Amino acid sequence: MSGSIENINELAVPFHFNKETDQLTIVLEAYRSQRRVNDGPESKLSKDQREFYWLSFVKALKGKFTILLFDNLKKTLFATTDRDAHLPFFWGIDVKGDLVLTIDSEMAKLGCQRAYGCFPRGCYISTADGLKALDDKNKVLYVEEDVDSVGHSYMKVVFDVDSNSTGGH
């Protein structure tokens, strides 16, 4: 995590954490609360409730921050920024087709020979869900590579206006 969360004290009660704990630990504990360490049987409802808790927590955060979590146990990724993307956060595709996430624009430019750009505002990306809008997890988003007027490739997000329709976006 980089940056800071401005409303951490007001989130302490509804999300059940100690106000005295540092911000990074609070974010990690909120994430861990939705991750099931023991992969025993569970109902889909309890899994959905934990995911709802995590996304509710992330949506409630206010400030200037970037969160990038890699869960080594589950081999999963979660990344997002504050709603207005105050801090630099870039994503792109390298020559092998792998996703690159970084706060360093030069690293994005050098590492993403295929395409790169600013991470989209109001979105998150996760191994489980792909790219989603924070406000509407069911909104269909597409990522496309495009070329600007001087020939540089970049990534753009296209929102499906009518996700109930069949066909394109």
- CATH T-level topology, domain 2-159: Glutamine Phosphoribosylpyrophosphate, subunit 1, domain 1 (3.60.20)
What pLDDT is attached to residue 41? Answer: 60
What pLDDT is attached to residue 129? Answer: 84
Averaged over 101-108, what is the pLDDT?
92
In the predicted structure, residue 5 carries a pLDDT above the cut 90? yes
Q: Are 64 and 82 in contact (CB under 8 A)?
A: yes
Bigger pLDDT: 61 or 139?
Answer: 61
Q: What are the tens digits of pLDDT across the range 153-167?
A: 887 788 765 544 444
What pLDDT is attached to residue 78? Answer: 94
Task: Indicate the helix (H) or strand (E) that contains 3.
Answer: strand 2-5
Alpha helix stretches (DSSP H) within the chain? 8-15, 23-34, 44-60, 105-111
The predicted model scores a pTM of 0.79
Q: What are the tens digits of pLDDT across the range 32-58?
A: 877 765 555 666 657 677 778 888 999
In the predicted structure, residue 84 carries a pLDDT above the cut 50? yes
User: What residues does each domain of the chain span?
Assistant: 2-159
pLDDT above 90 covers a percentage of the chain that reads 32
In the predicted structure, residue 77 carries a pLDDT above the cut 80? yes
Q: Are 74 and 35 in contact (CB under 8 A)?
A: yes
Helices vs strands, H then E, count in the chain: 4, 10
Averaged over 58-64, what is the pLDDT?
94
Kindly tell me the sign of the dihedral angle through the C-alpha atoms of 87, 122, 155, 76. Answer: positive
SS3 call for 52: helix
Residues 27 and 78: their CA atoms lie apart, in Å, by 12
Using a CB cutoff of 8 Å and minimum separation of 24, what contacts does 123-130 make?
Answer: 123/80, 123/157, 124/55, 124/58, 124/78, 124/79, 124/80, 125/77, 125/78, 125/79, 125/80, 125/91, 125/99, 125/101, 126/76, 126/77, 126/78, 126/79, 127/75, 127/76, 127/77, 127/78, 128/51, 128/76
